[in-house]
Amino acid sequence: MTARTAIHNLQVAQPLLNFINDQMLPATGVDPVVFWQGFSDIVTDLAPKNSALLAERDRIQTAMDAWHTANPGPVAQGKAMKAYRKFLGQIGYLVPEPRNAQATTAHVDAELAKLAGPQLVVPILNARYALNAANARWGSLYDALYGTDAISEADGCGKSPAGGTGYNPLRGAKVIDYCRHVLDRCAPLKTGSHVGSKGYAVKDGQLVVTLANGKNTGLADAKQWLGYTGDAKAPASVLLVHNGIHLDLQINPSTAIGKTDAAGVSDLMVESALSTILDLEDSVAAVDADDKVLAYANWLGILQGSLSEQVQKGGSSFTRTMNPDRIYTRANGKGTLSLPGRSLMFVRNVGHLMTNPAILYKDADGKMKEIPEGIMDAMLTVTCALVDLQKKKTNPLRNSRTGSVYIVKPKMHGPAEVAFADELFGRVEKVIGMPPSTVKLGIMDEERRTSVNLKACIAAAKSRVAFINTGFLDRTGDEMHTCMLAGPVMRKGDIKNSTWLAAYEKNNVTVGLQCGLRGRAQIGKGMWAMPDLMADMLKAKIGHPLAGANTAWVPSPTAATLHALHYHQVNVPALQKQMEKAVHKQDAKALRDDTLNNLLQFPVVAKEDATWSEADKQKELDNNAQGILGYVVRWIDQGVGCSKVPDINGVGLMEDRATLRISSQHMANWMQHGVVTEKQVKQTMERMAAVVDAQNAGDAAYQPMAGNFANSAAYKAACDLVFQGKAQPSGYTEPLLHAWRLKVKAA
């Protein structure tokens, strides 16, 4: 039985109470009396509103189910689409587009408002991941290329020399050549090439490069050189800028790499993850007070600059802490230049759906209920952020240099829910004495009702919006659940080519530019989920900046360093400016009509067209079941909310609850429409459990599922996600996962 303490209208679990009273409030200077009274009042006033919004989701889904039962199959363009849109307006799914939806967000850091670059997303429960992400602002391009498949291992260029171990100079030479060509593209010389260069020095306030032929030259654009470290005659590093982001050429002839280089160059450091989301949501398994305390303490430690972690690597142990800022001598030799050494940090709160037993509150009928977890997250993560706002401007470990707090709010359905988030953060600001609109909001455009009303969503929090981001995975899961009764959904691979998806990705950028987010906020794109396939990422992910997005998600610091190269290839701020002009020239009503007609196309086929072969259907079932089991077994048994999970072909995928939502909804839909039978699904789940067991054979903490179906909580949880999938609110997986994880922890 969890020990609790009653405070006003709340009953707080002891571990959380201790953290708040003993760590958070002393660190922030907030009066405990003011905090607890204000917190209790917020919960009392806003918990019923939270519940009403969830009831509205249920009402709308019931109406959608009835419509689809009466009108099965895809919605054809023309009269059918017109009637469908009229219906959506009548039930409150579609709202009138506001006339004034211009964002007014102020005091947004340059990383979000002015610059373009990669964004990391990491689980906040893991201190090591959090620190790695914070420090991923700068990454070694040499290491990123050498250690991944971005450089081919053909022709003797393996990561170790043929028949040996350690460093392979053939591979190293390819890495060095690649990086010199990066310099040629990003900071070209007046004459000649960086390839084979023999020296870099500062003479009379100018950067002088000695070419392979022994002649000296300078940069084609001298303004690209910003500064250096070390001695001017023999600098230790040279700082360059291109498209607003930085490259730091490291020169150290005493290192193993530098001594083999004609110019003594030992590395090329690339400004990489400009921003990072520390996640309390899809990538964590945080189900009770103990879990939430760990999350909040890590967030507080990041903002204090005190978080550290003991790391074992290469047979040695060291303490990982947060990197300081980087200091350079200015190009003219007068004074210093300081650049951030760390990513700008967001924290992602949970959405409006979940509750948490860490705090109970008394409702209007006198019953004790679990607190809406989003309200708890808002109160605690924003209060923690006071420690950053209170730092002096000279503090080398500041997060926001403009005095803002950055919160990503996921899984909001439409503008009323965004308005509720705006109200919630406003109430928290008032209690803790924070100026209005200090909290900046990241809106995840990952639910269908948000996509079709995106402009109204931005208008609902126009003084806070600092980020909109597409979430293809959750968006697909919501699409499937919304149209559950419309008919069989397409195979997952075919959905990627469906009409609604292309319209969705384009609409997010278009609406962001229409609402004035250029120069005020990030317009982002989703995750590259295969951290081992960096060569493929380098080919594919340039599509995100080319679409006008000034950030896109990556799964690791290494991926951030490689993806950063795309923002040197595409000048996103300039591209956004061009796109904005084009958008404003278009007829707004015609553009919205065309977009809505495409956005509202369901990824379903008519029943008579669900003619997949038995082999194809089984392949789809196998893929779904293996993915569900591989993720759920770690979530339930080990409390791991995000990890690299092998897919059915053994390819490691970064999995979180969003992928789980798709797979479970897909299987539930196919059972609903008789594409597959319940018996088929059960047999597939049992067979794939054995596959997942084999994939995890090397994990000493792993508990096998096969042969233990009656007792394996993880297996039963995975089955519940599928067989109860149709009944789950919006198809979300959290309620079942949390319930099963709590049972395992209690046992």
The strand ranges marked E within 21-153 are 119-123, 138-140
180 among known catalytic residues: no
What single string gives the DSSP state of each residue in 216-273?
A: EE-BSSGGGEEEEEE-SSSEEEEEEEETTEEEEEEE-TTSTTGGGSTT-EEEEEEE--
CA dihedral 147, 153, 159, 165 (to 10 degrees): 170
Q: What angle do CA 376, 410, 123 make, to 5 degrees?
A: 75
Q: What angle do CA 402, 408, 411 make, to 5 degrees?
A: 160
Residues 6+ apart with CB under 8 A from 468: 442, 443, 444, 445, 454, 458, 508, 511, 512, 517, 521, 522, 523, 524
Tokens 């760990």 -> residue: 294
User: Which secondary-structure segment (H or E) carries 448?
Assistant: helix 448-451
Q: How is residue 470 written in tokens?
A: 């597409």
The strand ranges marked E within 60-172 are 119-123, 138-140
520 among known catalytic residues: no
Classify 707 in phi/psi space as left (phi over 0), alpha (psi -120 to 50) or beta.
Answer: left
In terms of Cα–Cα distance, which of 731, 613, 587, 743 is closest to 666? 731
Please give the Cα distance from 330 to 227 (Å, whole number): 4
Helix axes 415-432, 32-70, angle to 10 degrees: 180
Q: How is residue 104 written in tokens?
A: 């007014």
CA dihedral 427, 432, 433, 438 (to 10 degrees): -60
Q: Which of 85, 342, 348, 448 is catalytic?
A: 348
Helix axes 713-723, 678-695, angle to 10 degrees: 140
Q: Which of 291, 656, 693, 720 is catalytic?
A: 656
Per DSSP, what are the bridge partners of residue 189?
A: 219
Q: What angle do CA 82, 85, 87 make, to 5 degrees?
A: 110
**Quick count: other Cβ atoms within 10 Å of Cβ 221?**
12
* Sign of the dihedral defined by the CA atoms of residues 117, 121, 127, 129, in that order: negative
Could you give the residue numbers annotated as active site? 348, 656
